[in-house]
Structure 1
């Protein structure tokens, strides 16, 4: 139970900070004391379902986004050591996904859940991405697809569950060393303007806070733009 409390508390804190909301502001919105909310976030106090639902409403997320604790791996399936020769991103069955959408000037995040199929060595994945509509309300987009692993790259091919015409490809580097994040590229057809698009993204082993410093890591740098222009790879109009 302690692990659940710590995880839920960390999720509340992450979403609160993403909305630039103080502890006192959240406490006022749910009619609790600042001290109580602080204890929720540190995991000292277990949340009842009514309070959890109210916090989710104020933070404009689904209650499930606060309690989606990763399933514990079976004994022997933990992340490899630095000397194992197996990438931690190959081993992981849950990854966290981030990109900055310059069209709406918002950092977006998602969760990738990976599972092995009945066919040995074959993998499938589900992707849920947080989205914000023009009114500022939060919603989720759901995709499902397949995963292909190689020594250098991991390739995800996703299809929108509710719109099979919307497909996305996600490529991430597959580093052997033990580190928490790796670079990637998300590409597909934008449903907003029906144009090809590509986003620089980060995929991590653990949830990240939406800080300004973290957002900078998601922006395309001028050096990257110069390299791509030499190869006539992309046209970019949103540069960090």
Structure 2
């Protein structure tokens, strides 16, 4: 049993549970036995490519989401990217505050591949319960991260509800820092309406305390800026 097969197996299990499928139901859908799928999930046996693609299709996810991804390694992001904050990392931790439920929402962003220059395949897992099983989340978004000289833009689509698109803009990502503020805009379904909110990005998980929550809430300074410019902005 290798670390890679264990990681892939854990992802299969997490996505299966997030879709509400039993081992038998998923096994039937990919024409495998329950025992074989159990061994895939435990990492006891290695998947072939055809089975990997079949699993992704049944789970309605991209095949890259099942692949092993070593976080915080420079091998995926090219050295010529203009974004220093994103340069040597493939996983980021993100937070925002949901006033509807009065709680902090935690997210993980995985940058999984680079199909074009300065453009990277990206997955956002939103409202996760814990970092270890982050695939078991409320919503999953798939799209791209694009780097420019002074701005990084993340364009994503909800995998379950394609109508829901979100855009995240992060200013001055060429400056290195452990944390960065971004502005997320898009459509909310609780209730259905356009929204914009502050989103904090970090290279490591942050301590979830009152200080962090207050940072994420709209502050008096934010309101003052909105009155001046008639818009929500973050720097």
Q: Match of 1:88?
A: 85
- SS state at 1:198 partner: strand
Deviations 1:137-185 (A, max 9, x none): x843111011111122211111010110011111112344432101111
Deviation at 1:78, TM superposition (A): 10
Measured against aligned partners, the alpha-carbon deviations of 1:19-46 in whole angstroms (never above 9, x if no partner) come to xxxxxxxxxxxxxxxxxxxxxxxxxxxx
Contact 2:73 2:89 in 1 (8 A): no
Instruction: Give the Cα–Cα distance (whole angstroms) in 2 for the partners of residues 226 and 206 of structure 1.
Output: 31
Cα deviation, 1:172-221, whole Å, max 9, x if unaligned, reads 12344432101111111111111111111101111112111111111121
Mark the CA change 1:225 to 1:98 in structure 2 (over 3 Å): closer, same or farther.
same
**Count, aligned residues:** 160
CA RMSD of aligned residues (A): 3.0
Relative to structure 1, the CA distance from residue 77 to residue 191 in structure 2 (aligned partners, 3 Å threshold; closer, same or farther) is closer
TM-score (norm 1): 0.58
Mark the runs of 5 or more structure 1 residues left unpaired by the alignment: 1-48, 50-67, 80-84, 133-137, 235-240
Q: Is the 8 A contact 2:143 2:157 kept in 1?
A: yes
Q: Partner of 1:71 in structure 2? A: 71
1:112 pairs with 2:109: yes
1:77 to partner: Cα distance: 7.0
Q: Residue 72 of structure 2 contacts residue 89 of structure 2 at CA under 8 Å; is this kept in 1? A: no
Unaligned runs of 5+ in 2: 1-41, 43-67, 130-135
Distance 1:75 1:193, change over 3 A: closer
Superposed displacement of residue 90, structure 1:
3.6
CA distance in structure 2 between the partners assigned to 1:217 and 1:69 by the alignment: 31
Q: Could you list the runs of 4 or more consecutive aligned residues of structure 1 that deviate by over 6 angstroms after TM superposition? A: 75-79
Contact 2:95 2:105 in 1 (8 A): yes
| Among 193, 198, 216, the residue aligned to 1:218 | 216
Q: Secondary structure of 1:227's match?
A: helix
